[in-house]
Amino acid sequence: MSRMPLQALHNFVVAARLGNLTRAAESMNLTVSALSHQMRQLEQRLGYPLLLRQARGVRLTPEGQRLLEQVGPHLDAIGEAFQPFAARHDRVLTVSAVPSMASNWLVPRLGQFVAAYPQIEINLESTERLTDFERQLQVDAALRVGSGQWPGVTAEPLFDDWLVPMASPALVARMGGVETIALSQWPLLGDPDGEWQRWFALTGERAPSRYVAMLNDSESHHRAALDGIGVALGRVTRAQLLLQSGQLIALSPHRLKTRWSHWLVYPARSATHQGFLAFREWVMAEAKAHAAHMTGSPG
């Protein structure tokens, strides 16, 4: 037997799964007569009927059911394998970011980008996973936190981040106000990176001998601070909306620069992506304005 027509097999699988030639034809931008003709040709080629036409659709013959079970999974696998190589369009942009950065910094600003570039469809992947650009070909860029040393990609600095002690209004009231006692006497939320030690070295105060709780990530620190459990040495960028709304209060005018910065990271293929180039220009401008606000510098 000569090579089987893959397109006809694909159309058969679609029709078999939908159980209706009209809906199957519409899903593939075909006429019902064209699809019916393809199915008859396929049946003639195999030598047995595959679909039984009924008043409200079609049902599979035993031979048609066997063909669907044997061919369907293979066509699905081909489609899945081909997906990363499908044509990419300059008007579709996919950006990856950690959830805290996405919700607290990028999303509140994203409306401006959408308004400025309505022709670009932007997809935001909010994930803690580090993007593998060699495997995740659909991702055009990522916002990362680190030292900027990632092999095989371009990493451009966006802005530094800063730490400041912050607490809920309820805890501040319970302690009698912001400046009543030394910060080391407040209930402090410890962290495994030892950032409090750097803080007290900066301010010249004596560090406490114990912490009210030890938490292993910044989001947990912010949550515990919101709940009045203790004082978090919080990241200003991630807690900015909470500080602006008054849900958290900064307890000191001093700020401590974090060990890691925020970066825009992208593979070489994105350098010719028009949607990405527009996003890069926009996010760099937003980052510059944010950095100026954080440092109090003009511009």
The whole-number average pLDDT for the span 268-273 is 92
Boundaries of every domain in the chain? 6-84, 87-299
The DSSP result for 34-58, as a single string, is HHHHHHHHHHHHHTS--EEEETTEE
Confidence class for position 84, pLDDT limits 50, 70, 90: low
For the four alpha carbons of 251, 256, 287 and 130, in that order, the dihedral sign comes to: negative
Among 171, 172, 173, 143, residue whose Cα is nearest residue 158? 143
**Listed range (209-213, 230-234, 288-292) with the worst mean pLDDT:** 209-213
How far apart, in whole angstroms, are the C-alpha atoms of residue 46 and residue 68?
14
Looking at the structure, give the CATH architecture of the domain made up of residues 6-84. Orthogonal Bundle (1.10)
Per-residue pLDDT at 75: 85
The class level of CATH for 87-299 reads: alpha beta
Per-residue pLDDT at 1: 46
Confidence class for position 103, pLDDT limits 50, 70, 90: confident
Q: What stretches of 47-121 show up as alpha helix (H) in DSSP?
A: 62-82, 99-101, 107-116
**147-202: pLDDT as tens digits:** 888 999 999 999 999 999 999 999 999 999 988 788 888 999 987 677 888 999 88
The answer to whether 6-84 and 87-299 have equal CATH topology is no
Whether the CB-CB separation of 181 and 175 falls below 8 Å is answered with yes
Whether the CB-CB separation of 50 and 12 falls below 8 Å is answered with yes
**42-80: pLDDT as tens digits:** 999 999 999 998 878 899 999 999 999 999 898 888 777
The one-letter amino acid at 229: I
The token duo for 182 is 């030394």
How far apart, in whole angstroms, are the C-alpha atoms of residue 88 and residue 23?
28
How far apart, in whole angstroms, are the C-alpha atoms of residue 53 and residue 21?
9
Residues facing 190 on adjacent strands: 214
**242-264: pLDDT as tens digits:** 898 999 999 988 889 988 899 99
